Chain A
């Protein structure tokens, strides 16, 4: 659900920009009506994709698994990406929450290694807190290596 909200927000900006572009173009260049309606249609399709379809698919594809000594994350709608992060490589774990996430009592976990950062977005608050605790405990135990 929140995915859709973030989708709405981020796409509203692009959408308003696009519609403004179409209006300006149609005034300046005196576009034909059919061209304008085509442009409007494309914007509508885009809005549907960004607000309805993509968040749903994204949400359906997101998987994460926190195991005893590693974290595995799967993401992506068209290109599916699987990532492995061993616990001993984790340097720190952050939890972050925007206004939307806070309203729905959700939080995002950000895992940083010496080189990369990985996100597990929009988890239940309690779950996020649990994961954060779990990982940071693990990291404490793990040896200093890098």
Chain B
């Protein structure tokens, strides 16, 4: 372990693929601007080949100069082709060591090792792109052993006791995939993709086609829209299945360990002491079936790694089961408590706040489209109803040590915060709220290196005062 190690040579290919991905769009752009490759001059070809060779060379060199070794209770990484960089990470600073097995790693029994540290700056953590699995195990064992104060000679790989708490069943996986909101993500991805080529798409032509199309009948359009949505939905279904297959949650003495993924196996470790709050979210599709998911907001991770700050811990479970599982992971948090609802006088505020912006929209639509614009009047039924739903979901629960806040945007989320993890608490009071003696409570907890804020609007002023006094040390 003391000699300098290199990563597995597969890193070169891995890095090349990664950089190629970033280059694809500029390259396509180049082709579109510069014409077909067959029309290029000799000079362009030479330039591109030089560029490619240089690119491959950099990948090889950066692999060659990347070494890591263990010495004096530190993990030392040295890298950089022209500018040499050294990063020494003391074992005590290491929060977690996680493995990821990608498609490229599998055939060679390799893993990607990610080492997270307590510091939250952008570059605090280290990543070993590809090392042999046994090597990774050794590394981990060595670090944990030396942290526990074992003699360094001791070779025994003592595996920490891990208790499996939750494993996703096939049925749950299917339900999860079917109800996942991934459609939105895919749509936005498609838009992002299109926006890359915006200059090259002949919108004028497309629109004239569409105009013809509209004449051909509304039914056909409706069918196509439906079909597109169906395809998107199936895509999101597949993605979710790939991502969450074999989802397992286990708990050791100090950490929560999550492994998931079908092709790319990912492992994630959350130290228990870094948990800042837990969040139960019930998406609007799953709520009628009493299904919910659990997220853990932790202070780990860096700025770049958002995934590590809010971790989906239990993707889907019946609400009752969720409480039981939760008790085993984080026994301090009280889950199933009756939520104090908002006073009825808050309802009209919720409805108004939700629907006032429909007025200019409806006005404009009716002004421009006359007959069809009247459809926008439906907003005046839908939006207040949504407001009513928000009102129904909101509430709080307060105990000696914990504050639970419930609110809904589209999905209902319940955030449970311990008093000693709340970084700051504020309450606000607007002029309308003052008239009907209401107020809002904002709770802030640390999440990653940022902040997770929750707000419940329009609680009765006595309740706001109660929570405020509860938090105050006066």
A residues lining the B interface (CB < 8 Å): 67, 69-70, 72, 76, 78-86, 89, 113-116, 118, 145-146
Contact = CB atoms under 8 A, between A and B. Distances in A.
Given A113-B423, A114-B423, A84 B431 contact: no
8 contacts: A79-B428, A79-B429, A84-B425, A84-B426, A84-B471, A113-B444, A115-B446, A116-B451
A89 B276 CA distance: 13
B449 to A, nearest CB: 9
A146 B299 contact: yes
A24 to B, nearest CB: 25
B423 A89 contact: yes
A69 B473 contact: yes
B420 interface: yes
Contact of A70 (B428, B444, B474): B474
The 10 closest A-B pairs by CB, nearest first: A115-B451, A83-B426, A114-B446, A115-B423, A113-B423, A115-B446, A81-B428, A79-B430, A85-B424, A69-B473
B426 A82 contact: yes
Interface of B: 276, 299, 420-431, 444-447, 450-452, 468, 471-474
Given A84-B472, A86-B473, A116 B428 contact: no
A146 B446 CA distance: 9
Contacts of B430: 78-80
Nearest to B464: A82
Given A89-B422, A115-B423, 8 more contacts: A76-B428, A79-B429, A79-B431, A81-B428, A83-B425, A114-B299, A146-B421, A146-B446
A78 B444 contact: no
A115 B445 contact: yes
Given A78-B431, A115-B445, A70 B426 contact: no
A83 B453 CA distance: 13
Contacts of B426: 81-84
Contacts of A113: 423-424, 444, 446
B237 to A, nearest CB: 36
Nearest to B450: A115
Contacts of A69: 473
B427 A82 contact: yes
Contacts of A70: 472-474
A124 B426 CA distance: 25
A84 B444 CA distance: 11
Contacts of A78: 430-431
Nearest to B448: A115
A84 B421 CA distance: 13
A80 B276 CA distance: 28
A115 B444 CA distance: 7
A86 B473 CA distance: 7
B429 A80 contact: yes
A146 B428 CA distance: 26
Contact of A115 (B420, B431, B452): B452
Contacts of B447: 115
Contact of A89 (B424, B468, B472, B474): B424
Contacts of A72: 472
A62 B136 CA distance: 56
A82 B425 CA distance: 8
Contact of B468 (A79, A82, A85): A82
Contacts of A118: 424
A20 to B, nearest CB: 27
A140 to B, nearest CB: 18
Contacts of A85: 423-424
Contacts of A67: 473-474
Contacts of B468: 82, 84
Nearest to A73: B426
Contacts of B471: 84, 86
A67 B429 CA distance: 23
A83 B424 contact: yes
A90 to B, nearest CB: 9
A29 B425 CA distance: 51
A116 B427 contact: no
Nearest to A91: B423
A114 B422 CA distance: 10
